[in-house]
Structure 1
């Protein structure tokens, strides 16, 4: 009888550990720029998992088997126009692909700008992005990750957030609260899928409106136009876009590529003639689906 109880306990504990992949970014009561409100986080499955009104930002960690692990990790920022998160389509599905290549995939459930539950809402996604990168670096040993092999990928508005992190990682956008915040927020490499980059004429108006509001100042637009924020310390970048993208014009990637080139930052860009917007892994397109292999080869080339 005692043996059965012990066996049950061991099985129960192993199940807890196997499922314990979601980590809160902030201690309770210490979430920066958070206001007390009646807002509730919403999860809906509509073909894909849609998350909106994020109240408790997290990272969800997907690790490859230890024998397959390369030591590399990629934080993943799903898109959704800064209004929702396409959480599995541009998040967990990407993490699982990376795991198959021996790379840790870490999905960031970041807060979406809100006038109700936040102050200075335009800074909130970047606050969570910086904290997420620092947290992964802080826990790198436990995740079997090499500290200087941590990259990021973002899609659409998530691509804007990723490029914001890649160009604003040194910005002090929140007050340090613990040892996690002693880590660098600089990504070691950056991949951007059909990203919103600019807050200028080539922007995605929905993303711009959700992030900056209806009448942002020119200074605010310039600050979040990431083609204007590239420096020589911006991480090496992989860009992916389709020419026929009618939601986020391909010029966003072109502008960023030119800015990287002008600053001497290593950049790779793949522009497809067709694909539209929001194609994720593009598994049903025999040509477009090859982008994941190209990105993997690029990540390997950085060694």
Structure 2
């Protein structure tokens, strides 16, 4: 199995929300917000996770850090327009933070408005310093490149996502278990991820065993070659050509889907940078969600189950 992404690129995935006009925004600690409806998953506490969960605001979004207990938050559509389709939403943040508003809740609300049940996955994260000053210092050191680790093997990269893949599998299992209650068709559950969340989406697709998403979205995640299942689900990809992480590197993932004769749609926007998410911007990348919704409709996921 191939999943090539340099250690530095994986680390810098934490730049999950970078609208150009707000890059000077400081990280401001905030109280952990209310998360009504959040359901703890059965994956347990993060091994060795001693620093408590904390949150901060930045770039007009809110970010979770040091998540040691995974949760899943449902955003259910109006029953009158529910389609029976569902999407598990995986925010990004380099496996060090999670962009909960821009790449989580806002996406889920937009999906629910289209009649799709959405479930925001707050997955467990790599530990960072508990205090904000220590966290900021660790980020400066990481971006300085002073201590770049050697590129891990593809197997080591996937092994490093073991807790996150377990969280994603548990999310799929929970949605299927409560499918009747939530009016979800167990065979119409997809997943969409952003940046690091896109990496998790791809890893869950190829190594998630029983997850088996019906369709997947990779939004400004790595697009390097990987070995894909013979029955790989339909794939939607959105990326900006000026993305500083992935805009000018290997697009082998697209070719892998095409070679396997599996459905794939690829939107390469001229501008948008990394982390555009649901931010309103003047670039055409802002239209990615409408394109994603039309793609879902083309595959029948915006029609009621059985219609």
TM-score range, shorter chain: 0.7 to 0.9
Structure 2 Cα separation of the partners of residues 250 and 36 of structure 1: 36
1:55 maps to which of 65, 68, 72 = 68
1:299 maps to which of 293, 296, 299 = 296
Deviation at 1:20, TM superposition (A): 5.2
Count matched residues: 236
Deviation at 1:283, TM superposition (A): 2.1
Structure 1 length normalisation: TM-score? 0.73
Contact 1:159/1:197 (<8 A) preserved: no
1:228 maps to which of 223, 226, 229 = 226
Deviation at 1:21, TM superposition (A): 1.8
1:124 maps to which of 156, 159, 163 = 163
Deviation at 1:287, TM superposition (A): 2.6
**Which residue is equivalent to 1:144?**
183
**Which residue is equivalent to 1:290?**
287
SS in 1 for 2:205: helix
Deviation at 1:85, TM superposition (A): 0.4
Contact 1:59/1:108 (<8 A) preserved: yes
Structure 2 Cα separation of the partners of residues 108 and 37 of structure 1: 18
- Structure 1: state its 5+ residue gaps: 1-18, 171-183, 199-226
Structure 1 Cα separation of the partners of residues 261 and 249 of structure 2: 20
**Which residue is equivalent to 2:14?**
none
Please identify, of 76-85 and 228-237, the stretch whose mean Cα deviation from structure 2 is larger: 228-237
**Which residue is equivalent to 1:247?**
245
Contact 2:88/2:191 (<8 A) preserved: yes
Structure 2 Cα separation of the partners of residues 296 and 249 of structure 1: 23
Deviation at 1:289, TM superposition (A): 2.1
2:45 pairs with 1:45: no
Contact 1:115/1:121 (<8 A) preserved: no
Structure 2 length normalisation: TM-score? 0.72
Deviation at 1:114, TM superposition (A): 4.3
Structure 2 Cα separation of the partners of residues 242 and 300 of structure 1: 23
SS in 1 for 2:291: helix
Tell me which of the two structures has the higher relative contact order, counting C-alpha pairs closer than 8 angstroms and 6 or more residues apart. 2
Contact 1:163/1:197 (<8 A) preserved: no
Deviation at 1:249, TM superposition (A): 3.2
- Structure 2: state its 5+ residue gaps: 1-34, 130-158, 301-307
Residues 1-303 of structure 1: pairs in structure 2 closer than 5 A: 21-26=37-42, 31=44, 34-35=46-47, 37-46=49-58, 47-114=60-127, 121-170=160-209, 184-198=210-224, 227-252=225-250, 254-285=251-282, 287-303=284-300
Larger radius of gyration: 1
